[in-house]
Amino acid sequence: MSSTSTKEQPELSRQGSPQTAKPKGKRSKIKWVVATVIALVIAYALFDLYGPRSTKLRRFDADEVARLETAMWRSYYDRKQVKLFNELSELLRTQYNLPYIRSNAVAYQAARAAFVFKDGHSRAEYERALPYLVNFYQRIREVGDITFDVDRAARLELEWWIIHRERQQHAPGDLARSLAELPAEIYQMPADRFTEHGRLRAEAMTIRDDKAAAGGVTEADWAKIDELLHASWRSLYEAVNQP
């Protein structure tokens, strides 16, 4: 009895070895595939975020920018943060040539700035949005073909936000002038080239504000706002592309 058991034991061991080796081989192969996929994803993400990219800031679709701005205004005032974020990402991909991950990262900066500002009640609180705006314009400057002052652009953006919020404390025309000063910095051109752009955009804002204060903005009001924004961005396109 004991001699038979002794002889059979090695045979069982030999039969069991191939069965245990196969799962180990499969697990190793799966690990290798997973590691390769992870490495490729990381490489893509790094290239997306930091790889070379360029765009001509004067070349954009004015009507598409206007459409997205109307949509972003509606998302902002309805406090739909995710929707605003997605619209900003789309704008950055289609008009600034940013790849997918980078467009989302930059859109986060702009969306965060908007809602930090929205919840503010004083200049000191409004200025908490400034670091996000600086980051936003820094990323635009990195891919753009025009050298502009990032800090000044961010401050001009914040300034028209404040003037718009505190419009009752400002003289007529202040908002339009402030809106013209921002593209003047970005495109390195005289502000008077953007007078029409600023006036039309300010008019669109005034309609939204007055209608909201009177009880609500209707679809007809939004259609008018959209029309003004289309005219405003077409005016800016012509201003930056004229000889």
Please give the full DSSP string across 119-170, using - where no structure is assigned: T--SHHHHGGGHHHHHHHHHHHHHHBSS---HHHHHHHHHHHHHHHHTGGGS
pLDDT of residue 54: 62
The band of 35, judged by pLDDT with boundaries at 50, 70 and 90, is: low
Residue 238 has pLDDT above 70, yes or no: yes
Q: Side-chain half-sphere of 27: how many Cα atoms within 13 Å? A: 5
* Whole-number pLDDT of residue 36: 55
The mean predicted confidence, pLDDT, of the chain is: 87
pLDDT at position 22: 54
Residue 10 has pLDDT above 90, yes or no: no
Give the ranges where 51-129 is alpha helix by DSSP (H). 62-77, 81-96, 100-118, 123-126
Token pair listed for 171: 């003289």
End-to-end Cα separation, the chain, in angstroms: 105
The reported pLDDT for the residue numbered 100 is 86
Answer positive or negative: Cα dihedral of 112, 114, 119, 124.
positive
HSE-CB at 5 with a 13 A cutoff on CA atoms is 2
**Helix-, strand-, coil-residue percentages of the chain, each rounded to 5:** 80, 0, 15
The whole-number average pLDDT for the span 68-74 is: 98
Residue 206 to residue 217: CA distance in whole angstroms: 12
**141, 150 contact by CB (below 8 A):** yes
In the prediction, which pLDDT does 243 show? 76
pTM score of the predicted model: 0.79
What whole-number percentage of the chain has pLDDT above 70? 81
Q: Of the given ranges (19-33, 53-67, 210-224), which has the lowest mean pLDDT? A: 19-33
Q: How does residue 42 score in pLDDT terms, banded at 50, 70 and 90?
A: low
Give the pLDDT band of residue 99 (cuts 50, 70, 90): confident
Comparing 40 with 210, which gets the higher pLDDT?
A: 210
| Cα dist from 45 to 33, 48, 50, 70, 200, whole Å | 18, 5, 8, 31, 40
